[in-house]
Structure 1
Amino acid sequence: MFEKLQLTRMANAMAERAGARLGVVAQNVANADTPGYKAMDLPSFAETYQESGTAMRATRAGHMTSQDDAAEPVLRRTKGAGAPNGNSVSLEQEMVKTATIRQDHDMALAIYRNTSEIIRASLGRAR
């Protein structure tokens, strides 16, 4: 029942994205000393979230003129100064990304939790 609601689908997609991005960050950290390794990252959730049948509406002319229709997110290399051995992983940047990922995941859980509470209240089944 809950998976049919647009809000819960969005929260699920946000949580899945956080998990996938955490995997990429973990791979970067694991290869922090690998010569020639280039740090990778996923595009942000806002850039890639698209729901079939639900298109965003433009509010004025020229608003949202170009949209990327990529179905699957692709890894992109992060920019930054590389080490002398060609490695571009910055452990400090990866730690910052991890904190951001945690916030995104917590937000997804909060959305799902609040949606569940609203549905329970509307059915008269409050905690």
Structure 2
Amino acid sequence: MDPIHLFDLAGKQARWLSTDQSVIASNVANASTPGYRARSLQPFSEVLDKTGLQLASTAPSHLSLDPLQVQAASIKEENPWEVTESGNSVALEQELIKAGDVNRAYSLNTGIVKTFHAMLMSAAK
């Protein structure tokens, strides 16, 4: 039976969502700082695309390749909706929308994990 990687994937996404929420909070906290440039994380799907999976070899004659290292989510400056006279590029409306997106994604993540856990527990009974 193959191992189930759902919990690992959900944990990775939860950590990414936590980091994204921290970046959003930092943007909101610096909304009135002159010259501050809003930042954002690259999307979780891009982080997953850059993450390599280890190949399983079932025979010694199979090629043994090293897995790609997980690359940390890089923080990048984003294109602002608006730039104020002070050079600040934080749009509070945009940050609130992104915070709501993080909240919805986290709720979906935890809902899937709860449901999957309940299925495993009912199968174990």
> TM-score, normalised on structure 1?
0.78
Deviation at 1:32, TM superposition (A): 0.2
Q: 2:14 matched to 1:5?
A: no
* Gaps in structure 2 of 5+ consecutive residues: 56-68
User: Partner letter of residue 74 of structure 1?
Assistant: S
C-alpha distance in 2 between matches for 1:70 and 1:16: 14
Matched, 1:52 2:53: yes
Give the distance between the partners of 1:71 and 1:119, measured in 2 at CA.
Answer: 31
Secondary structure, aligned partner of 1:84: coil
Identity among equivalent pairs (%): 26
Which residue pairs with 1:109 in the alignment?
110
Does the 8 Å CA contact 2:52/2:70 hold for their aligned counterparts? no
1:24 matched to 2:23: yes
**TM-score, normalised to structure 2's length?**
0.79
Partners of 2:78 and 2:117 in 1: how far apart? Answer: 37
**Structure 1 portions without partners, runs of 5+:** 55-68
Which stretches of structure 1, 4 residues or longer, exceed 6 Å deviation after superposition?
A: none
Q: Secondary structure at the match of 1:122?
A: helix
User: SS of 2:98's equivalent?
Assistant: helix
Cα deviations across residues 52-77 of structure 1 (Å, max 9, x unaligned)?
327xxxxxxxxxxxxxx761110011
Matches within 5 A, 1:46-85: 46-49=45-48, 50=51, 52-53=53-54, 71-80=71-80, 81-85=82-86
CA distance in 2, matches of 1:83, 1:48: 31
Aligned length: 107
